[in-house]
Structure 1
């Protein structure tokens, strides 16, 4: 019985044909789309981590912001290297769409980092941040921590 199973496996392997060039291009394009949509899959977890880290300047929140800026920028700079294994002469035009989608996804991830910096109060968004003669707003109340 074992020889019959072995012969059946050998005949199946012999019957299988190599994929055509068009099938390979379709498969490579599908895998490239998976790589292009990868940054957006990490976005919910990153957003939750940023929300949970708070808006104060602590080492954890600073590291989160650093990684929120570093990863998308490095991803944008390495766009061609990320997709060079999928690119062929016949699918070069379709790969351009995938690369543009990848860059857009990286920009969305970068926007999340900008949102966090704004929530931390580090973005210069008021006139007093830019103009030396503008006075800072005086707070209406002061909180004093209890000992």
Structure 2
């Protein structure tokens, strides 16, 4: 068996040795305040030494704070969608058509699925030290989902599908018994 060293791919060589910048061709001078790239790069390289410092890892307290901020962003996200949802529902009209029915279906489905999946939405932000603080964000999330559900209820009421008037319940009302009877004369 011969021991051959594996050849390095061309892209690795290109990354390790970038091509040199070509000189500016033509007689067009640089605009005032904008030197050519080659002179700007050489001045920067000459004046600065490479100062690369490794990024400091965040402390657990900082990570908990960041996770809590992200959790609050997730908790308030349903409210950010409400104006567009309300406008779409208003524009779809109050008649029973396929588009308005689909809008109402989505207005009920999304908040209900959001309430059911509350723990899954916040599990990536949860740690032992911020469990109690995360409960407030979860409650706010559920409250925002209930507000989104209220927009769906508003739409159903506007379509006339909620039984809110007396005429909607006439089938269950007892018929009035008259107190007097009138007999017509012949």
Normalising by the residue count of structure 2, what TM-score does the alignment of the two structures yield? 0.66
Tell me if the contact between 1:127 and 1:134 (Cα under 8 Å) persists in the aligned partners.
no
C-alpha displacement of 1:124: 0.9
> How many Å separate the matches in 2 of 1:63 and 1:54?
12
Partner of 2:15: none
Higher relative contact order structure (alpha carbons within 8 Å, sequence separation ≥ 6): 1
Aligned with 1:20 (options 59, 63, 75): 59
Aligned length: 131
Shift in CA distance, 120/85, structure 1 to aligned 2, threshold 3 Å = same
Partner of 1:143: none
Tell me if the contact between 1:53 and 1:61 (Cα under 8 Å) persists in the aligned partners.
yes
Partner of 2:73: 34
- Give unpaired runs (5+ residues) of structure 1: 136-147
Matching of residue 129 in structure 1 with residue 129 in structure 2: no
Matching of residue 95 in structure 1 with residue 138 in structure 2: no
C-alpha displacement of 1:7: 3.0
Shift in CA distance, 122/84, structure 1 to aligned 2, threshold 3 Å = same
Tell me if the contact between 1:128 and 1:134 (Cα under 8 Å) persists in the aligned partners.
no
C-alpha displacement of 1:3: 9.4
Partner of 2:50: 7
> How many Å separate the matches in 2 of 1:86 and 1:3?
46
- Give unpaired runs (5+ residues) of structure 2: 1-41, 175-186
C-alpha displacement of 1:52: 0.3
Normalising by the residue count of structure 1, what TM-score does the alignment of the two structures yield? 0.82
C-alpha displacement of 1:133: 4.9
Question: Any idea what SS the aligned residue of 1:97 has?
Answer: helix
Runs (4+) off by over 6 Å: 3-6
Correspondence 1:76-115 to 2 at 5 A: 76-115=115-154
Shift in CA distance, 55/4, structure 1 to aligned 2, threshold 3 Å = same
